[in-house]
Chain A
Amino acid sequence: MPTFSLVHLEFLLTAAQWTIGLSIAAFVGGGLVGFVVALARISDLRVLRIAATVYIQLVQGTPLLILLFAIYFGIALLGYTNLPPLIAASAGLIIYSSGFLAEIWRGCIDSVPKTQWQAAECLALTRWQRMVKVILPQAARIATAPTVGFLVQIVKNTSLASVVGFVELAQAGKLINNSIYEPFTVFMIVALIYFAICFPLSTWSRSLERKLNVGRR
Chain B
Amino acid sequence: MTYHFDFSALLPYWPEFARGIWLTLQLSAISTVLGFVLGTLCAIGRADGSRWVKWLVAIYVEAIRNTPLLVQVFIIYFGIATLGLHVSANLAAVIALVINVGAYTCEIVRAGIESVHKSQIEAAECLGLSRVQTYWHVVLRPAIERVYPAVTSQYVLLMLASSITSQISAEELTAVANRIQSDTFRAFETYIVTGVLYLLLSLVVRICLWLFGLAIFVRRRKLGTAI
Task: Select the stretch in B42-50, B65-73, B126-134 that faces chain A.
Answer: B65-73
B78:A159 contact, CB within 8 angstroms: no
B3:A77 contact, CB within 8 angstroms: yes
B75:A194 contact, CB within 8 angstroms: no
Residues on A with C-beta less than 8 A from B72 are 191
- Give 1 or 0 for each of A52-65: 1 = CB within 8 Å of chain B CB: 00000110111111
Given the complex of chains A and B, what is the CA–CA distance between A62 and B79 in angstroms?
29
A162:B160 contact, CB within 8 angstroms: no
Residues on A with C-beta less than 8 A from B188 are 70, 73-74, 77
Interface check A97, CB cutoff 8 A: no
A66:B191 contact, CB within 8 angstroms: yes
Count, A-B residue pairs, CB within 8 A: 113
User: Which of B67, B78, B163, B198 is most buried by chain A, counting CB atoms within 10 A of its CB?
Assistant: B67
B71:A184 contact, CB within 8 angstroms: no
Q: A65-B164, A199-B66 are in contact. List 8 more A-B contacts (CB 8 A).
A: A61-B160, A62-B195, A62-B202, A65-B163, A78-B1, A187-B71, A191-B71, A195-B66
Q: What are the 6 A-B residue pairs with the smallest beta carbon separation, nearest first?
A: A183-B78, A73-B187, A198-B66, A159-B68, A63-B163, A70-B191
Interface residues of A (CB under 8 A from B): 57-58, 60-67, 69-70, 73-74, 76-79, 152, 156-157, 159-160, 162-163, 170, 173-174, 177, 183-184, 187-188, 190-191, 194-195, 198-199, 202
